[in-house]
Structures are given as C-alpha cells and as structure tokens.
Amino acid sequence: MKPMSDKLPFLPFALPEIGEEEIAEVVDTLRSGWVTTGPKTKRFEEDFTAFLGDASLHSMAVNSATAGLHLALEALGIGPGDEVITTTHTFTATAEVVRYLGADVVLVDIDPATLCIDVKAVESAITPRTKAVMPVHYGGLAADMTALLALTKKHGLKVVEDAAHALPTTCGGKLIGTLDSDVTVFSFYANKTITTGEGGMVVTRDPALAQRIKTMRLHGMSRDAFDRFTAKVPSWYYEIVAPGFKYNLTDIAAAMGLHQLKRLAAFQKRREEIAQQFNEAFAALPVITPPVPPAGDVHAWHLYVLRLGDDVKVGRDAFIERLYAAGIGCSVHYIPLHQQPYWRDRYGLTAASFPHSQKAYERMVSLPLYTRMTDDDVKRVVGAVRTALA
Ligand SMILES: *Cc1c(COP(=O)(O)O)cnc(C)c1O
C-alpha cells in the first residue's frame, strides 16, 4: 500500500483560469479610483459586441446572468397572467426570474438526443397565455434554434436565450447572441467558460429593449453613473422613471472580463481538445458520450456530461462516490426542476411528464472539464471512470 503522501491531490470539478493580465487589470482598476461601473465596463461591453461581430447589437454588462434574464423578461413586459415556457433540465435561475415578475413557468421535456429543450414539446405547451420561450443551450451545445424561432415567429412569441453555457457556441454557423431571438444572456459565473467572478452580459438588437434594460439595471435611472460623469448635463442630475434594480457590473469585475474575453478562443480550443480526448477514451465503454453539434458548428463545452448506459450495473450515485474516492470531483447538471420542491409543488409536477429529462438525470454525471486540466489530469479522469464502471 502506498503511503498517503503519494496520493494525488483532489482534482476539483471546476477551476477558473485567471492570468497575470487579469490580475494586473484588476490592480489597475483598484488604483484608478473608479471601482464601480465605469470606463472598463463600457470597454468590456464594446469588446463583447465586437467579438459577436455585429455592430447592430447592444451588449449590456450586469452583475449576474440571473439579473440579465430578469431584466430581459421585464423589458419584454412579462407579468402576471403570462406564461413562459422553458426546459425542466436547467438551473433554477432560468425559471425563477419568471416568478419574480409574477408570471407562470411552463416546464417542458428535453430532446434526449441533445438534452436541450424539445421544440415539439414547446409547441404542445403553447396556450393563449404564452408570451415567451426561454431555450437553454445545455452544456454549450446550441438548442434547435432554427425550429424554435420558426415556431415562435408563427405564434408571435418572444424568445430569451439562456446562453449561460454558450460562449462561444454557434448555431447554423452563427454565434449565439447574433440569432433572431429578442434577448440573449451570457453568464460569467466562476465556473463558466469565461469568468468575472460574478457577472453576465445581456445582448439585444432592439434599441427600445436595450434602453429599458439599461434603465432598469440601475435603479430605473434615466442614465447610468458613467454617462452622468461624462455627459454635458449637470453631473448631479438624474431622473427616476421606474422602480429599477441594482444589477450593474463593477469595473473590478469588468477588468477580468476584458482579458478573459481575449482568451476565449484559446479556452474553447482547450475545452474541445479535452472533450475529444474523453470522447475517444469512452467510445468503447458502456456509456453515452455527450451530443455533438452538426458539422461546422462550435460547441462551447461548458460541461462534459456522461450518461451511464442501461447495461451499467453501478448506479449513478455510487458511480459518483467511486470517482470521489479516486480523488475526482464531479457534479450533476441538473436535478430537473420538476423534482425540486418549489417547482414540483407549485405546478403539481411529476416525473412521468418529463421522461427524457428524468432518465437523463438518473444516469448522468458531469466530469471535470476546464482549461487548467493537464493531459495527465484528463488521463486520470479516464482511468477513474473505467475503474468505476468495472
Ligand atoms: C449559471 C447559470 C445561470 C445563472 O448565471 P449567474 O451568472 O450565476 O446568475 C443561469 N442559467 C444557467 C443554465 C446557468 O448554468
């Protein structure tokens, strides 16, 4: 038996990659005296629009994607009596923002081939009260936006994309954020494909929506702090046009974002490399590897979700315990919303209504996948998966 000191250190499920440029930019921000929303946030927004490559887009930085989703639905006028359709197989943030506004959430099942929202199920769930649909690009793979946008156009519904996993993801060769939906929201939470600690970006092409979102992200003020100190009108003057929120991003966070965004292409390449190594290693095992995009499209590889095949005797929970015992952190994305007490009880939901999400949930595990993993880390995960399946 090996002594304890030879044991490999625990491999966490996720780790951010923060470089010297990010650190220097944060320090520069701290020394500049401007720590809240200011010039660096503005630059981050400009860089984000430039990255998306479409100057007609408005990119608006916020302090979380949850805040951004809330602002998007608020700007679209979602309120009591309205219904918003989304996938049960998501994080609660996607759905909770609908409830903030007093509207109702209608959860639908996933397409088992993509683990993204099932567009046919969306169609069946449409009622006269339906106002909007919120697809999630699960794991970094685009939902079937061609079919969904055709459906929502036909029924006059709004679309807010929860793109928390989808930077940079493409759909039909176009970057998520540039499609014909109303609003797209990205997350820069610690474990997302780029991070500002906490943060998010709201993107829309509609100038009226952009105006409303900008106003509501900072107390319902008719202009934000940065404009106030650079515009011609007296610096102390502002107007409150609505009871808004406190959702602005700080320059400290934006300082990180500026450099994370520059590294996004390299980050995506490394994530894809790791995903390919996993795919090859697991091809002969009794598991289902994650769905891949159509040829030519980009997967952001936010998550690597493995599903245990029907013949695998070890249960999912025991499988995760075995990986932990081998020093590998993993997770489950997600415990479906129909299983969560609040959503289950409020809408009287049962697993029988969501067979694909339920089955995927019971057999799935998210493996570590992040840019700081070495090839040896990847091999270690592969070895642990093989052993855990045996
Ligand atoms: C992370 C995440 C969010 C929330 O992002 P925050 O920036 O933490 O608010 C929303 N939806 C999905 C699918 C997520 O994974």
Q: Split the chain (390 residues) into runs of 10 and give each run's mean pLDDT.
A: 68 98 98 97 98 98 99 98 98 98 98 98 98 98 98 98 98 98 98 98 98 97 65 82 97 98 98 98 98 97 98 97 98 98 98 98 98 98 97
In the chain, which segments carry CATH 3.90.1150.10? 264-389
The amino acid at 273 = E
The atom number, within ligand 1, closest to the CA of 200 reads 7
**Distance from residue 334's CA to the centre of ligand 1 (Å):** 12
**Distance from residue 92's CA to the centre of ligand 1 (Å):** 8
The atom number, within ligand 1, closest to the CA of 165 reads 15
Nearest to 133 by CA among 13, 147, 331: 147
Sign of the Cα torsion 195, 226, 216, 60 reads: negative
Which residue's structure tokens are 């049962």? 350
**Distance from residue 376's CA to the centre of ligand 1 (Å):** 30
Please give the backbone phi and psi of residue 8, each rounded to the nearest 5 degrees, phi first. Answer: -70, 145
The atom number, within ligand 1, closest to the CA of 333 reads 15
Sign of the Cα torsion 92, 195, 12, 302 reads: positive
What is the C-alpha to C-alpha distance for residues 26 and 17, in angstroms, rounded to an integer? 15
- pLDDT score, position 230: 64
> Does residue 130 come out as left (phi exceeding 0), alpha (psi in the -120 to 50 range) or beta?
beta
DSSP 3: -
Return the active site residues: 192
Q: What is the pTM of this model?
A: 0.96
- pLDDT score, position 235: 81
Nearest CA to ligand 1 atom 14: 164
Q: Hey, how many other C-beta atoms are within 10 angstroms of the C-beta on 91?
A: 19
Helices 251-262 and 39-52: angle between axes, nearest 10 degrees = 30
Q: CATH fold of 20-262, please?
A: Aspartate Aminotransferase; domain 2 (3.40.640)
Q: Are 252 and 29 in contact (CB under 8 A)?
A: yes
Q: Are 308 and 323 in contact (CB under 8 A)?
A: no
**Distance from residue 192's CA to the centre of ligand 1 (Å):** 9
Nearest CA to ligand 1 atom 1: 164
**CA torsion angle for 114, 117, 120, 125 (degrees, to 10)?**
160
C-alpha 365, offset from chain centre: 18
Q: Are 108 and 84 in contact (CB under 8 A)?
A: no
**Distance from residue 100's CA to the centre of ligand 1 (Å):** 16
What is the C-alpha to C-alpha distance for residues 358 and 113, in angstroms, rounded to an integer? 14
Q: What DSSP assignment string belongs to 120-174? A: HHHHHH--TTEEEEE-B-GGGPPP-HHHHHHHHHHHT-EEEEE-TT-TT-EETTE
**Distance from residue 65's CA to the centre of ligand 1 (Å):** 6
**Helices and strands (DSSP H and E) totals, the chain:** 14, 12
The atom number, within ligand 1, closest to the CA of 191 reads 1
The atom number, within ligand 1, closest to the CA of 90 reads 13
Which residue among 73, 183, 187 has the greatest number of ligand 1 atoms within 8 angstroms of its CB, and so is best to mutate?
A: 187
3-class state of residue 189 by DSSP: coil
Which residue among 91, 107, 332 has the greatest number of ligand 1 atoms within 8 angstroms of its CB, and so is best to mutate?
A: 91
Nearest to 85 by CA among 156, 133, 143, 149: 133
What is the C-alpha to C-alpha distance for residues 204 and 219, in angstroms, rounded to an integer? 20
Ligand 1 pocket by Cβ (under 6 Å): 64-66, 90-91, 93-94, 136, 162, 164-165, 187, 189, 200
Which residue among 73, 96, 100, 189 has the greatest number of ligand 1 atoms within 8 angstroms of its CB, and so is best to mutate?
A: 189
What is the C-alpha to C-alpha distance for residues 171 and 141, in angstroms, rounded to an integer? 9
**Distance from residue 7's CA to the centre of ligand 1 (Å):** 34
Question: Quick one: tokens of 119?
Answer: 């567009």
3-class state of residue 291 by DSSP: coil
Nearest to 84 by CA among 136, 187, 183, 160: 160
Nearest CA to ligand 1 atom 8: 189
The amino acid at 1 = M
**Would you state the CATH architecture of domain 264-389?**
Alpha-Beta Complex (3.90)
What is the C-alpha to C-alpha distance for residues 260 and 254, in angstroms, rounded to an integer? 10
Nearest CA to ligand 1 atom 2: 164
In the chain, which segments carry CATH 3.40.640.10? 20-262
Question: Quick one: tokens of 332?
Answer: 């489950």
Q: Are 85 and 122 in contact (CB under 8 A)?
A: yes
